[in-house]
Amino acid sequence: MKFLQLFPLYGEYVKDFYAARADLAAKSYAEQNAALIDDGFGLVHMFARYLAPHGFETEIVFTEAEAAQRQWLAENSPAPLTNPDNWRHEIAARQVNAAQPDVLYITEPVGFDKKFLDLLTHRPRMILGWKAAAIPPGTDWRGIDLILSNFTPTFQWAIERGAARSEFFTPGFPDDLAEELPDEGKLWDLSFIGSISSEHRTRTDYLNSLAKAQLVRENDFSLGYFLRTAEPDIVPVGVAMHNRGALWGHMMHRVLKGSRIALNIGIDLAKGETGNMRMIEATGLGSFLLTEYQDNIRRYFEPGVEIETFKSPGELEEKVRHFLKDPAAREAIAQRGRARCLRDFAMSQSVARLAELIHAHVR
């Protein structure tokens, strides 16, 4: 059974990726695609990389990697594009039509909704995708058979926007990733990796309060913020002074693994719920996770046993200082967190569940 995954990438990541590999854009599509896969961006969502043992012939298309996509076009479908400004959709549609997959997995179905599906001359036997964030007005999911999510509001939103059904699902941590990364020791007392925008006001406030606390105590712990700042004007000075810039793929994984404390704070929209992928990445890499408390936290990890939580800036600062002073307790929690992650959220389990959902639909 053929499985094709359309995989979006941040524009900033694509720019950084090719800037670090000056000659890559001139190489074949296969070489560019392989390099993108190996770099590990969004690895917890990269199901096509792990589905082969379940009887699938897989392919990943990185829809935003313009150099790779245009190289595919030159090698496989050189006819002029109907609308050059819409190259993302047109080239991806040609790739789907050429591959003729049984299953099309759209990792970001907001950008690739019915308008994209209408470009296809090949109709896959199953079309599914993932969404666990806000869905813009006008999104049309008619033609999508299944939306997967771990964010409760998505289940109703998916049906309202035309998807046939939706189900709870959690992406997975690659089982051997921690062992594959170099062991560089603990380089940061505390790190935070993520985005800052108008949708992350709570996150911004927590990061700013921690920066102020560190300054008051004369920099008694190292603080590394690795931030994607699409709206730099809203970033407080205290946060900006600690920002080392966005991290992607395996560089992000290395910093998470090299942090004594991995901080996690969700998007404002998710108040009352947690389950973002940074929780799974941090614990899977064996780092101590300190995350904002949400009502459903025990669906993922047990506070005080496998992770730690906080509910206020004061509690955040208190727990940072406490666990930096008690490495034995911190590492014991981190190891229990890693064991829980590998037991309940390993990629091997996620792809087995995904294969089960597909086989139930495609008989």
- Same domain for 164 and 213? no
Q: How far apart are CA 69 and CA 74, in angstroms?
A: 9
- Looking at the structure, do residues 286 and 252 belong to the same domain, yes or no? yes
Element housing 262 (H / E): strand 259-264
Q: For position 33, which CATH number holds? A: 3.40.50
pLDDT per position as a tens digit, 143-201: 999 999 999 999 999 999 999 999 999 999 999 999 999 999 999 999 999 999 998 89
Query: Are residues 314 and 301 part of one domain?
Result: yes
Q: Could you give phi then psi for residue 344, rounded to 5 degrees?
A: -110, -20
Mean model confidence pLDDT for the chain? 95
Predicted confidence (pLDDT) at residue 97 exceeds the cutoff of 90: yes
Do 129 and 205 have their domain in common? Answer: no
Q: Do residues 336 and 198 both lie within one domain? A: yes
Residue 46's contacts (CB-CB under 8 Å, 6 or more residues apart) are 5, 7, 37, 60
Which pTM was predicted?
A: 0.95
- Averaged pLDDT for residues 292-301: 96
Q: What 3-state class would DSSP assign to 219? A: coil
Q: Looking at the structure, do residues 147 and 186 belong to the same domain, yes or no? A: no
User: Domain range for residue 264?
Assistant: 177-344
Please give the Cα distance from 52 to 128 (Å, whole number): 18
Q: 244-287 pLDDT, tens per residue?
A: 999 999 999 999 999 999 999 988 877 778 989 999 999 999 99
3-state secondary structure of 19: helix
The SS3 of residue 238 is: helix
Residues 244 and 168 in one domain: no
Number of domains in the chain: 2
Q: Which residue has the tokens 């991806």?
A: 92
Q: What is the pLDDT of residue 219?
A: 65
Residues 222, 303 within the same domain? yes
Q: What's the pLDDT score for residue 228?
A: 93
Looking at residue 82, what DSSP letter applies? S
Q: Residues near 223 by Cβ (< 8 Å), separated by ≥ 6?
A: 188, 189, 190, 191, 210, 211, 214, 242
Say which CATH number the domain at 334 has.
Answer: 3.40.50.2000
DSSP state of 358: H
Report in angstroms the alpha-carbon separations of 31 from 20, 26, 72, 90, 289.
Answer: 15, 10, 11, 22, 36
The percent of residues in the chain predicted with pLDDT above 70, rounded, is 99
In which element (H, E) is residue 105 found?
Answer: strand 103-106
Neighbours of 325 (CB within 10 A): 10
Statement to judge: residues 55 and 103 lie in one domain: yes
CB of 139 closer than 8 Å to CB of 112: no
Query: Do 86 and 24 fall within a single domain?
Result: yes
Based on the domain organization, do 312 and 193 belong to the same domain?
yes
Claim to verify: residue 147 and residue 136 sit in the same structural domain: yes
